[in-house]
Amino acid sequence: MRPSVPFVAVFSLGFVLHAQDDRGLTALHQIKVEAFDNSKVMDHLQALADRYGPRLTASAEWEEAAQWAMQTMRSWGLSNVHEERWGPFGRSWSLESCNLDMVSPRYSHLVAYPMAWSSSSNGVETGELLYAPMPVDRDYEKFKAGWNKYKSQWHGKLKGKIVLVGNAQKWTPSTQAVFRRYTAEDLAGIANAPAPVVQRRITIDKVKFPENDEEANNYFLSLPNALRYELSDRSRALLADIGAFFKNEGVIAVLKDDQRAHDGLVFGEAAGSYKANDVMAAPTFVVTEEQYSRMQRLVEKKEPVTVRLELRAKYSDRDVEPANIIAEIPGQKTPDEVVMVGAHFDSWHMATGATDNGAGSAVMMEVMRILKTLHLSLDRTVRIGLWSGEEQGHFGSREYVKQHFADMKTGEVRAEYAKLDAYLNLDNGSGKIRGVYLEGNDTVRPLFEKWLAPFRDMGVTAFSLKRTFGTDHQSFDDVGIPGFQFIQDPLDYGSITHHSDMDTYSHAVQEDLMQASAVIATLVYDIAGRDEMVPRKIIVQNGKLPSP
């Protein structure tokens, strides 16, 4: 008997949906096989970390690593592989050699490392230590007042000295595990909805951070996006003033204590300004807490302490333009619509930038390799962005978003804005993916829960409405584009490797990065083939974003 038209329609629809599900399941299996059995993610990371090493923004090392990344992606058959310049940023800076020794009252080789954008020493220099601890305060206005008082107090008294500016306190043993994975209880806590927070419509002079770290974090998230970036800009200006003061006072060098003692040498990143028009900071070193506190105690007891040092760095006399790295796999049905993945390619200079963020860059490159190798049918174009300038304030991704999608400050929206579906970012070390920060976007929870259901047996269970900051997904989320950062196992990222001299390949966990590659490749496949685009939080009206 010939079936009725409604029955034919229902039967046909069921067949189409079944076929779509089958294609998705087949693709999922193919992705897992390629990501696990044929993984190349550690090869990518080994090249980035071991061969090219640190990738400070605008440095020669960054440029060399970028050429390798582009050549590698071209060899896979990716399209439109290119650099996009932005800036000007600041000076290029590369470390050539350094040495620091205490020579009296007893010899001791000091475990130390120079901070970025330190000027070179005048060859080998020897000087006596002077203890002049800088003020410390979370509140900007209080710190600035203390700093101005400090300058008046020490003006004219630092010439020819090596200055100890930190105040090492008595060490308290940590009760926290050095290496940690999230428990089910931890993930449940992360997935709990955050407490409602009223957005603060205040000016920068009214910002007052609480003393408690968790409260300060929540307070920071309650601030408007534009104000958060203004705070960062103001802090950089103050850092430039600090660096210039010591240089103009004629110090031989500045020594700071390690703020995260005993687990690796951690530094405060930049010595001063990276801008060519600003005074370059004096040679500035971070010294391990054990050795720094010894010297501090000796000086406080009026024991003369002498230190010998040499620092050689290569830097430009003008501001240069860094680049972002872009590559694509063209879509087959709607190639003008784009799904993006990304990670910051730059690092600090103290180690090899393996977990921050060579791991994220290696995973995102592996995602592109997997999708291209499998020749999966992708409706939308898939694009990778490997950013520079993240460590200085998300500069690379912010400029990319401004040039292609929307200007957060003016509210102007570009034509490409409506064509970017979603952005996925990876930048929390080497830990495997345990879920997604949804950035307050309630509408995407059921989508991610469905897409990532096949990975529940790999620990992907947490979907949090909480906002997280400090990664490049913010540049996209700031203008209303769905931008997401993944929840990752902490491992030893916060306790040891983050911004330290131990951020090396040895701390990368292979199986975790393989899992992350499979998870993200599957997500990209699902998003790129979805009929509708990912829902957005912000509605554009009359070609402009709402006022920040």
Buried b / exposed e along 211-248 (16+ C-beta atoms within 10 A): eeeeeeebbbbebebebbbebeeeebeebbbbbbbbbe
Q: Which residues contact 530 (CB under 8 A, 6 or more apart)?
A: none
Inter-residue contact 273 to 505 (CB < 8 Å): no
| Three-state DSSP class for residue 390 | helix
Amino acid identity of 98? C
In eight-state DSSP terms, residue 237 is H
Model confidence band, residue 186 (pLDDT cutoffs 50, 70, 90): very high
Asked if the model's pLDDT at residue 83 lies above 80, the reply is yes
* pLDDT greater than 70 at residue 464: yes
Q: What average pLDDT is seen over the chain? A: 91
| Mean pLDDT in residue range 93-113 | 97
Residue with the larger pLDDT of the pair 210 and 28:
28
Least confident of 3-7, 131-135, 226-230, 352-356: 3-7
The answer to whether residues 426 and 366 touch, using CB atoms and an 8 Å cutoff, is no
DSSP assigned state of 426: -
pLDDT for residue 137: 83
pLDDT value for 21: 66
Residues 6+ apart with CB under 8 A from 9: none
- Quote the percentage of the chain above a pLDDT of 90: 78
Q: How confident is the model at residue 259 (pLDDT cuts 50, 70, 90)?
A: confident
pLDDT at 268: 56
The rounded distance, in Å, linking the Cα atoms of 64 and 343 is 18
Residue 7 has pLDDT above 50, yes or no: no
pLDDT digits (tens, 9 = 90+) for 524-547: 999 999 999 999 998 898 889 987
Residue 284 scores a pLDDT above 70: yes
Least confident of 184-193, 197-206, 260-269: 260-269
Distance CA 483, CA 479 (A): 10
Gap between the Cα atoms of 422 and 226, Å rounded? 22
Residues 93-192+199-315, CATH architecture: 3-Layer(bba) Sandwich (3.50)
Q: Is the confidence at residue 89, as pLDDT, over 70?
A: yes
Task: Answer yes or no: are the C-beta atoms of 290 and 261 closer than 8 Å.
Answer: yes
pLDDT higher than threshold 50 for residue 520: yes
pTM higher than 0.85: yes
Strands annotated E in 229-379:
253-257, 284-287, 306-315, 323-329, 334-344
pLDDT tops 60 at residue 168: yes
What is residue 254's predicted lDDT score, i.e. its pLDDT?
98
Q: What are the pLDDT digits (tens) for 39-72?
A: 999 999 999 999 999 999 999 999 999 999 999 9
Rg (CA), the chain: 25
Superfamily of domain 30-89+320-528: Zn peptidases (3.40.630.10)
Q: What is the pLDDT of residue 16?
A: 38
Task: Give residue 546's pLDDT.
Answer: 86
Query: CATH 3.40.630.10 occupies which residues in the chain?
Result: 30-89+320-528
> Span 277-293, mean pLDDT?
95
Percent of all residues in the chain with a pLDDT value above 70, rounded to a whole number: 94
Residue with tokens 């040895």: 506
Residue 233: pLDDT above 90?
A: no
- CATH 3.50.30.30 domain span(s) along the chain: 93-192+199-315
- What is the DSSP annotation of 459-519? T--EEE-----SSTHHHHHTTT--EEEEEE--BTIIIIITTBTT-SGGG--HHHHHHHHHH
Whether 179 shows a pLDDT value over 60: the answer reads yes
Task: Look at residue 53 in the predicted model and tell me its pLDDT.
Answer: 94
Q: Give the pair of three-digit tokens for residue 59.
A: 């440095």
Query: pLDDT for 334-346, tens place per residue?
Result: 999 999 999 999 9
Q: Average pLDDT, stretch 416-438?
A: 97
Q: Which of the two residues, 228 and 503, has the higher pLDDT score?
A: 503
Where residue 117 falls (left for φ over 0; alpha for ψ -120 to 50; beta otherwise) is: left
Does 198 score more than 60 pLDDT? yes
Q: Name the more confident of 267 and 402.
A: 402
Does position 2 have pLDDT exceeding 70, yes or no?
A: no
